[in-house]
Amino acid sequence: MQSFEGKVAVVTGGGRGIGGSIAKALAARGAKVAVVSRSEASCGKTADEINAEFPGAAKAYALDVADHDAVAALGKEVVADFGGVNILVNNAGVTRDGLLMRMKEEDWMTVLDTNLKGAFNTVKAFMRPLMKAEDARIINIASVIGLIGNAGQANYAASKAGLIGFSKSVARELAGKKVTCNAIAPGFIRTDMTDALSDDVKAAILGKIPLGEFGEVEDISDMVVYLAGPAARYITGQVLAVDGGMTM
């Protein structure tokens, strides 16, 4: 099994769903994990579950990734707590779906601030320790919607397409320091986010997935483990779709 012994990972949106699976997968392989989410209850639960199995492997940090100053403070706190950072996973994300005719400015801003500015904030906060670390990794969780768009998700699509462009630019800027930066574009993965969709919408999506089933959170955390490990040392600036063939 891939070992992340001696490595420190920061996982935003680590309280639930895909981020919870990523935090647990990295901790199970020996990493110390800073679990970040909006609510203390949520990141605290993931950290408690990890610590129950791997004592001292996780610490919870509750904050809004859209808050630039709070994330800058997080950068200092995580380095003080764990001594450095090797892996940054930007996974925190939200949806505020609606057709453009009805979409409010607030729906646009919340999604862009969380999904896109949140990643800017964390990269700024952790850039120095990542550049100091050996073979550091930045992994951004985008979406197939950022590649193909979706009616009713203009804000979300823009945030995820922006995250992809951001990832490629970060990859170019940090390549000289051997920090890689890649994006994963999940398709439809079973989580609270997708459970909220109606049965009609789910059935329509299922019809567009060649492999004929929805993905599980482990499909994404397995890809994060791969990208964070040494086998992916020569991969940077890429978008890896994990989507059952939706976007082929």
How many Cα neighbours within 13 Å face the side chain of 106?
0
Q: Write down the least CB distance from residue 34 to ligand NAP, Å.
A: 12
Is 158 annotated as contributing to ligand binding?
Answer: yes
Torsion, Cα 173 176 177 182, to 10 degrees, reads 50
Q: Which two structure tokens, joined as six digits, stand for 138?
A: 């930045």
Interface with ligand NAP includes 93 (CB under 6 A)?
A: yes
Q: Write down the least CB distance from residue 165 to ligand NAP, Å.
A: 16
Show contacts with ligand NAP in window 129-188 (CB under 6 A): 141, 143, 186, 188
Which of 23, 42, 87, 119 touches ligand NAP by CB under 6 A? 42
Catalytic residue at 156? yes
Residue 236 DSSP SS3: coil
Is 118 annotated as contributing to ligand binding?
Answer: no
Show contacts with ligand NAP in window 192-231 (CB under 6 A): 192-194
C-alpha span between 161 and 167 (Å, rounded): 10
C-alpha span between 32 and 78 (Å, rounded): 11
Residue 22 DSSP SS3: helix
Which residues are designated catalytic? Answer: 156
Contacting positions for ligand NAP (CB under 6 A)? 12-13, 15-19, 37-39, 42, 64-66, 91-94, 114, 141, 143, 186, 188-189, 191-194
